Structure 1
């Protein structure tokens, strides 16, 4: 029911066609730019079996079999508390933030699980398929990711009016399933097992049918898939100088669907724009929770790095410094409050699950993402200019330059030059490096762009309560409520 790390590693040695830097990758589990994150995913699987973590990461199903808490359907507040604890346990153990490791993407499947009535309008088979795949995820424990963004092409034109492959679409039906063509950008695809693949189009107009309105579970061992990856950050520079880049980089790929057969049992909807519209509107109903929770850990990393830096030299006694630290703390606690309240006031879903309070969850996402760049800059200010000018580890180890660096980087008995350099390198990689910039952009767009974050708040906020209060308080005619709705 739960895999080991070796089970996972063996599962992705399936001959998949992966490229990086213009070269074919023979084995993603050994390639230097994939291996660190593959090893972390394997470590997460192994944690589920270890006594120190088992109780926080697994539960026993109705047959007494251990299953991953991350993949369990959420039906109670206790389920959400357990999921939150499991994610914190993973991030604490691996020592950093990893975003696309499965627990934050399986929730997208739960959103479609909630839409079974819509699927039944076209074909009850699609409803059965989503139930099957939700159950299969629990039983098989795959590394499951998400496939959303297409190359898109010229967005002023309809897909049909340009190269049709710019958006993933069905090219034909067979007895075995549908054949799809196009491409998707997917984080972690090159080393994952499967993805929930769905369209990015939110407005289908009055179209009822479309070959672009297709959603399915894609097995990444399928023939005719190609994974063209961006260059990884791991291995570009020594780990002593870039400790985060070398461990936690989650590599994106442009996944090419070159006439890929999707078996009928993996098709979740097809030529059904209503289902496609539903999943775009509800996609992050559950998955936003784990996504926002990771911003909380990122805030902790910024606070810890900044606080160590100012305490080294006694700057934490200055009011201006304390105010900046307080702003970081408010950002952190704001995220924490939204997550806590979203569970405490959780709501029943249309499919019988329990979803975090949607207005609070999506408001928390806006807070976490929209202020992240400001908080990173605050942390930079608190760390000071040395994070961008400090020599590399090799200079500290060199017999000729080392003594000088030892002299100028040692602060006191508690802060010798070695630890001072390590902290500055950590801060540089967290806030200033190529990896830091990539992470910032990823957090802004990984769950849709900022305007869509606000649109989600608009759709889920309770507008009626403020209107009703003002109607009564101002003595307005009750009929204004009807006109305002």
Structure 2
């Protein structure tokens, strides 16, 4: 059943070893760098119970109330419900938070689709994924994912350097596998569990590898250590940095110091085919919620830029209107990809309803590849005052307040305090340390740009353009030959085609 915010807070008070800024954290729910995000996640849980939002955030099935975000998607309607729920969450808190669970639970649905692959490895693994999907639905944990390892020297295979640079299995026991290494994971220090899986590893053509392992990790397990980057919250007054103090999702290096993973939590192990499969299909569902965040960020940039332009009358200038239109085109491009991905949704090999893959992945490339350009346009529209405006203390100090009230009051509708708040918001979104961090995070959070384009290459329908040009140019049937084939990883594509045929037959 859905949990409350209080139950979530209690669940992460489990004695886990968390370090930040050189100190051992006693309670992540009260520490100033973690509390803002813990409170937001707790707020999400509470919204599932409140009369005004529970019909959006939850659904009832077989007498049990569960979270919409955790529901397996079988229909287009399920995706519209998920989109509405995420929008409701972000609008309630007044900002963008990426790691709250809805964008990571979908990664397990990709494994649900790949049960045939898992069965080739061990039938128990496909049972494990079904059990964990059911467990997420019924116990409502804060579920995150762990992908990136420290990696070390990437010119060398892991066996030729410190083996801990990539997470690996060091021992098998009757109770499960024992793993060593480390993973970077945003929000891990205050989450319940993580889908931990291999990075893009250099195991060559080997069929088996101790580095090809994926499992569900209980983040309260013994021998886990969480070493976090210093958060932005508390570095400067919240009045001057309203986003950094509320929405900084603390990234964590999770150390696995001989951690036991029970067999029932192991989803695949040693078989590189299974590891390659999950890497190729990892974001089949989760990319939707990720791209949806970019849409909300676009709304924030448009709102801040438009307020700045209208309060000074600059929105009447053609040059300003053109730049606002560029932001609108970017925003609507993301919106169109998300909407079309649902409208043209596809049945997955496992029988789920997945967003149209080509449209989803091209939408992700659009959202991420143009984000830095849109931020720069928003900076221009907000004007130079976002980098020169004094802080709130100067607006309140007796000796400087009269002068700042004079020069920051635009008219009777835009007094100095509102002007200061808007400039502080825009500065934190576009110019601050937090803004730079978020830009980098969006670029790499769902793999680097080359992997985004590789996903497009594997999922775009190349046959359509080939057939059209063949007919338009009057080419013979022979020219298609080897050219007419789905590009990308042949093993994954063969599996996918067989699954699609199976679904069509059924």
Give TM class, smaller chain.
Answer: over 0.9
Corresponding residue SS for 1:473:
helix
1:334-413 matches, cutoff 5 A: 334-413=333-412
Q: Give yes or no for contact 1:204–1:277 (8 Å, CA) kept in 2.
A: no
Q: Distance in 2 between matches of 1:29 and 1:234?
A: 14
Q: How big is each residue's C-alpha offset from its partner over 1:243-293, in whole Å with a ceiling of 9 and x where there is no partner? A: 000000000000000000000000000111111000000000000000000
Q: Distance in 2 between matches of 1:101 and 1:483?
A: 45
Q: Give yes or no for contact 2:158–2:202 (8 Å, CA) kept in 1.
A: no
> Could you tell me which residue of structure 1 aligns to residue 495 of structure 2?
none
> Could you tell me which residue of structure 2 aligns to residue 17 of structure 1?
17
> Could you tell me which residue of structure 2 aligns to residue 331 of structure 1?
330
The Cα shift of 1:64 comes to: 1.9
Q: How big is each residue's C-alpha offset from its partner over 1:146-204, in whole Å with a ceiling of 9 and x where there is no partner? A: 10000000000000000000000000001100000000000000000000000012664
Q: Give yes or no for contact 1:203–1:277 (8 Å, CA) kept in 2.
A: no
> Could you tell me which residue of structure 1 aligns to residue 124 of structure 2?
125
Q: Distance in 2 between matches of 1:427 and 1:123?
A: 52
Runs of 4+ aligned structure 1 residues displaced above 6 Å come to none
The Cα shift of 1:205 comes to: 2.9
Q: Give yes or no for contact 2:150–2:166 (8 Å, CA) kept in 1.
A: yes
Q: Give yes or no for contact 1:111–1:283 (8 Å, CA) kept in 2.
A: yes
Corresponding residue SS for 1:483:
coil
Corresponding residue SS for 1:196:
strand
> Could you tell me which residue of structure 1 aligns to residue 501 of structure 2?
none
> Could you tell me which residue of structure 2 aligns to residue 269 of structure 1?
268
Corresponding residue SS for 1:308:
helix
> Could you tell me which residue of structure 1 aligns to residue 35 of structure 2?
35
Corresponding residue SS for 2:144:
strand
> Could you tell me which residue of structure 2 aligns to residue 314 of structure 1?
313
Q: Give yes or no for contact 1:202–1:280 (8 Å, CA) kept in 2.
A: no
> Could you tell me which residue of structure 2 aligns to residue 80 of structure 1?
79
Corresponding residue SS for 2:366:
helix
Q: How big is each residue's C-alpha offset from its partner over 1:111-147, in whole Å with a ceiling of 9 and x where there is no partner? A: 0111100110121000000000000000000000010
Q: Distance in 2 between matches of 1:192 and 1:55?
A: 25
> Could you tell me which residue of structure 2 aligns to residue 449 of structure 1?
448
Q: Would the alpha carbon gap of residues 306 and 57 (structure 1) be closer, same or farther in structure 2, given more than 3 Å must change?
A: same
Q: Give yes or no for contact 1:119–1:269 (8 Å, CA) kept in 2.
A: yes
Q: Distance in 2 between matches of 1:250 and 1:122?
A: 36
1:179-328 matches, cutoff 5 A: 179-201=178-200, 204-328=203-327
> Could you tell me which residue of structure 1 aligns to residue 137 of structure 2?
138
The Cα shift of 1:68 comes to: 0.2
Residue 46 (str. 1) matches residue 35 (str. 2): no
Q: Distance in 2 between matches of 1:154 and 1:456?
A: 26
Q: Give yes or no for contact 1:338–1:364 (8 Å, CA) kept in 2.
A: yes
> Could you tell me which residue of structure 2 aligns to residue 2 of structure 1?
2
Q: Give yes or no for contact 2:213–2:268 (8 Å, CA) kept in 1.
A: yes
Q: Give yes or no for contact 2:157–2:202 (8 Å, CA) kept in 1.
A: no
Corresponding residue SS for 2:479:
helix
Q: Distance in 2 between matches of 1:212 and 1:423?
A: 49
> Could you tell me which residue of structure 2 aligns to residue 57 of structure 1?
57
Q: Distance in 1 between matches of 2:170 and 2:99?
A: 30
Q: How big is each residue's C-alpha offset from its partner over 1:53-89, in whole Å with a ceiling of 9 and x where there is no partner? A: 011111112x221100000000000000000000000
Residue 427 (str. 1) matches residue 426 (str. 2): yes
Q: Give yes or no for contact 1:202–1:277 (8 Å, CA) kept in 2.
A: no
Q: Give yes or no for contact 1:29–1:38 (8 Å, CA) kept in 2.
A: yes
Q: Distance in 1 between matches of 2:194 and 2:21?
A: 24
Q: TM-score, normalised by structure 1?
A: 0.99
The Cα shift of 1:484 comes to: 1.4
RMSD (CA atoms)? 0.6
The Cα shift of 1:425 comes to: 0.2
Q: TM-score, normalised by structure 2?
A: 0.95
Q: Distance in 1 between matches of 2:335 and 2:345?
A: 15
Q: Give yes or no for contact 2:150–2:165 (8 Å, CA) kept in 1.
A: yes
Corresponding residue SS for 2:209:
coil
Q: How big is each residue's C-alpha offset from its partner over 1:367-398, in whole Å with a ceiling of 9 and x where there is no partner? A: 00000000000000000000000000000011
Q: Distance in 2 between matches of 1:123 and 1:372?
A: 42
Q: Distance in 1 between matches of 2:438 and 2:16?
A: 27
Residue 417 (str. 1) matches residue 389 (str. 2): no
**Structure 2 stretches lacking a partner, 5+ long:** 485-506
Q: Distance in 1 between matches of 2:483 and 2:18?
A: 54
